[in-house]
Structure 1
């Protein structure tokens, strides 16, 4: 490639060229650019030197473009359009015209509970866009964001680095869930019944213990875990018609994804609540599209949580 003297290249030169080409007058171009005529004439001189062509010659009262100027004009217009439309930041994101993708990292249960509302709203507000939900956890969250493979991530995240921005969505708590048409126990469930009833847990591996078991062990107690699964909805399906108990996140128990009549109540032991957060990269947090998407998701999830907590 021919070496270019970039010191001689100035965006103002392209603006001057474009104005001269359209107005065919130094004075009219100067007025359009809010420049004095000497400055516009100086820019034309630099353009002529840079492109090694007269570019515009006076014919009567007009500056007539040369053949070289005619060839360059559409390319200059394209460069200015790319710079103004695609490079310069937009103050406001316009979802109606967006034709790209919204890539959202979500935990299993967040996707089940909030995914439909997020998708439906994005389809309504950004009808030409596509939506992708990707599985995310504390292990892969930062890598997905850093590689720009996700726009935002939703879930439970621990020990995130400083270059990640965390937005609190809501405080999640644990509830005991069971089919009381089978259990036929008093509400809330007492500790003895809880410990003696077979239990289901959500586990990401083959281990059938969680923090709950550590809490019980500290008090010399033990529960009877008989089933582990990675899927929250499996827990609800398995509870129906069976004498079993599960401790699960409140939103999983209150969601209407399954038509069941399970009972929810406070556990007989202390199980710490936990935060559901949304995370983005600090350096992308002011991007108009990311800002718009983040605020939309925050409003949708918080509204959904309030609705579910007021239903039952």
Structure 2
């Protein structure tokens, strides 16, 4: 592609090109002035500037009116489609139709959010936006802000409250944690007592390799501690570990229902107080008004809200 010298454009008044195109169409200074709501002297002055710019008369007087020169014919042939495209770009509101659009969106999220959210979200998109492609990039709470600042994703679904002046974070809802185990490895039923909870070893998910979490801080305030046997950055590793070893795993409540069904695990409330996590959407301010980005945020938010409502109904359902 030929490079563009921006300084060349600083000498060009697009209004002159409008005068050129109108003059070509009407072949009259008077009619051009009427169509442009200008005085004849203003159109004559613009025509003089055009002649100086292109070093050509452009229009000459004939019995048929102001006839274009070959140079004017060539310029109009080049400029007319460009000006039409510029007009569409400036004055036509951008429209996004999910039913027909075929673009790709990138969403950042952790593995547990992907496991919890994406089956329903992809099914929803398959119905209402069949040509849309979704790409998920692994994103923990610490990676979300730099990922979005660099605009490497259209949206992040994350927890925490980190943000920056270039980003918008919108909290959706909060939820709690539950403890999972395999009855064949730890033969006990819900609810868990604190003594039972601490009698067995634990597996901990830590994105940064830390061996303690908010749960351990709460235990320390009680003068108690748990033994963490295994630390992993991936929630997806937990179900098979629990089936093989006598371990407890404390996980977001969103994972409980499907993991108990899929892997035959047991679940119980955590026997100590733990702060809830808040799911939020994070996006770059440059995408705030973009119709496609707004649609994506709304669709993801509605899916999350629906899943959290169903999750809450299961937790509160009698029996």
Q: The TM-score by the shorter chain falls in which range?
A: 0.7 to 0.9
Task: For residue 277 of structure 1, give the secondary structure of its aligned residue in structure 2.
Answer: strand
2:228 aligns with one of 225, 230, 238: 225
Q: How far off its partner does 1:171 sit?
A: 0.8
Aligned to 1:188: 191
Shift of 1:292: 2.6
Any residues of structure 2 matched to 1:44-193 within 5 Å, and which? Answer: 44-57=47-60, 60-61=63-64, 63-86=66-89, 90=93, 92-96=95-99, 98-122=101-125, 125-180=128-183, 183-193=186-196
Q: Report how far residue 97 of structure 1 moved.
A: 5.7
Counterpart of 2:14 in structure 1 is 11
2:189–2:266 CA contact under 8 A, matched in 1: no
Shift of 1:131: 3.0
Where does the alignment leave 5 or more consecutive residues of structure 2 unmatched? none
TM-score of the superposed pair, with normalisation by structure 2: 0.80
Give per-residue Cα distances to partners, 1:241-267, cap 9 Å, x unaligned.
Answer: 754321101112234797233333211
CA distance in 2, matches of 1:256, 1:186: 17
Match of 1:211 among 210, 214, 234: 214
**What value does the CA root-mean-square deviation take over the aligned residues?**
3.4
After superposition, the C-alpha distances for 1:188-246 in whole angstroms (9 at most, x for unaligned) are 21111111123222123544332212221221112232222222122123323754321
Indicate the SS of the match to 1:90.
Answer: coil
Corresponding residue for residue 269 of structure 1: 272
Unaligned runs of 5+ in 1: none
1:296 aligns with 2:286: no
Give the SS at the match of 1:245: strand
With the length of structure 1 as denominator, give the TM-score of the two structures: 0.81
User: Structure 1 residues 217-226 or 91-100, which shifts more?
Assistant: 91-100
Deviation digits for residues 127-146 of structure 1 (CA, Å, limit 9, x no counterpart): 55543222223433333323
Compared CA separation, residues 287 and 209, structure 1 to 2 (3 A):
same
